[in-house]
Amino acid sequence: MGRKAFYLTPGPSELYFTVESWLKQAFKEDIGSISHRSADFKKIYEEADGNLRALLGIPQGHTILFTNSATEIFQHLLLNCVEKRSAHFVNGAFSERFYEYALMLGLDARKVAAPFGGPCPVEDFQAQEDTELICVTHNETSSGVMIPEHNIAQIKANNPGSLLAVDAVSSIPYPKFDFNAVDSMFFSVQKGMGLPAGLGVWIVNEACAEKSARLKESGQITGTYTDLEEMLVQAEKFQTVTTPNVLGIYLLAKVSGDMLTKGADVIRAETENKAGIGYYVLENLPGMKPLVEAKTYRSKTVLVAEETQEGAAAACLARLKEAGIEAGDGYGPYKKTQIRIANFPTHSKELFEKAMDALEARSKA
């Protein structure tokens, strides 16, 4: 193959196998030169929009917007949808950051915390009165905890007066959300979509739009280029407020089309199958164990394991590297004692099994 390494890192990660040929096609079509105000660009946006709706089950009442990273969407959501009070389920570094951004913006942000690697107690959650936005991370990239979709819908059922925002950065295109319960969802493309970094996707419904309009009406600053009303006016025409990553949107349109050809259900089944193999191996690996104890909450797309013997995590990564595979080390303070292995659609069963074989070979050595 001539590749130096294969990337089972939790994002950026392996590119979807069709990306390179789409990039060649992009050059033939002058995608790097066309105006973002042209009919050609609008067609690309429309194609991405249609493919994402079909792939992820996004209904017409929700609008698909493009930003540049998912982290930025934390701020956009908070400015547009919260005047005073937000609630945040925090069980890892990224959900913590969402909460911190709310504090930085001067909001009365409440945190419902779980230990790192533990699930958040979402099932019976009753938000404090006047909570305008509840934020939940479907899949914590740092700790590998995944909240089942039906539990997320339950949050909304228990708190119908609050908007619900779901961070699905590192699980898309795996989950099937009930968009009747999800007011906003967002992700970035360099993880499960197998694309180069530099593009975030923000999905909002009319309730978010109405909230933003009300706040703006009352004098709240909802952002400039990220004012939701302005973004929606542009999106209606398949346009963006600022000059977007045109090439990134083109690749997203094409790759989501390729994924549709394969089938969302096939991708989902393959992901579960590979995750099953992965956790089986991690459970039986001497010196290591899956970080998330309860199987229900184990991420299907980012498998995190921690060492029970000193040096075991580093040995795992070294063994993978020997097999030509880059995986992720632990997040932040767990850098040396945990490993993170991504299981995205672009990681073929063959590649994933090769990685698992490499880990097992180590344990037998």
CB of 169 vs a copy of itself, minimal distance in Å: 9
Angle at 273 between CA 270 and CA 275, to 5 degrees: 105
CB of residue 219 to a copy of itself, shortest distance in Å: 8
Shorter beta-carbon distance to a copy of itself: residue 105 or 260: 105
Binding site for a copy of itself (CB under 8 A): 2-5, 7, 9, 12-15, 19-20, 23, 27-36, 67-72, 74-75, 78, 100-101, 104-106, 188, 190, 195-199, 221, 223-225, 227, 241-248, 328
Q: CB of 156 within 8 A of CB of 205?
A: no
Nearer to a copy of itself, 104 or 157 (CB): 104
Q: In the chain, what are the helix, strand and coil shares in percent, each to the nearest 5?
A: 40, 15, 40
Rounded CA separation 304/282 (Å):
9
Please tell me whether residue 212 adopts helix, strand or coil conformation. helix
Which of 273/348 has CB closer to a copy of itself?
Answer: 348
Closer residue to a copy of itself, CB minimum distance, 230 or 353: 230
Task: 15-21: list long-range contacts, CB under 8 Å, 24+ apart.
Answer: 15/194, 15/195, 15/196, 15/346, 16/193, 16/194, 16/195, 16/255, 16/258, 16/259, 16/345, 16/346, 17/194, 17/346, 17/348, 18/254, 18/255, 18/258, 19/194, 19/195, 19/196, 19/251, 19/255
Query: Does the bond joining 12 to the residue before it have cis omega, within 30 degrees of 0?
Result: yes
CB of 12: closest distance to a copy of itself in angstroms? 5
Q: Nearest approach, Cβ of 339 to a copy of itself (angstroms)?
A: 14
Backbone angles phi, psi at 335, to 5 degrees: -50, -45
- Provide the residue type at 283 as one letter: E
**CA–CA dist 355, 6 (Å, integer):** 10
Handedness of CA 139, 147, 358, 352 (dihedral sign): negative
Nearer to a copy of itself (CB atom), residue 224 or residue 296 = 224
Q: In terms of CB distance, is 79 or 122 closer to a copy of itself?
A: 79
Quote the least distance from Cβ 176 to a copy of itself, whole Å: 25
- Round to whole Å and give the CA distance between 220 and 216: 5
CB of 18 to a copy of itself, least distance (A): 13
Cβ distance to a copy of itself smaller for residue 10 or 257: 10
Given the complex with a copy of itself, which of 149 and 167 has the nearer CB atom? Answer: 167
CA distances, 88 to each of 63, 112, 131, 180 (Å): 23, 6, 10, 20
CB of 76 to a copy of itself, least distance (A): 10
- Return the number of the residue (68 or 363) whose C-beta is nearest a copy of itself: 68
Least separation in angstroms between residue 248's CB and a copy of itself is: 6
CA–CA distance, 312 with 307 (Å, rounded to integer)? 6
Q: Which of 245, 181, 204, 191 is nearest to 81 (CA)?
A: 204
Residue with tokens 């905890």: 145
Q: How far is residue 174's CA from residue 148's CA, in Å, rounded to a whole number?
A: 11
Task: Please state the closest distance from residue 279 (CB atom) to a copy of itself, in A.
Answer: 24
Q: Between residues 122 and 172, which has the closer beta carbon with respect to a copy of itself?
A: 172
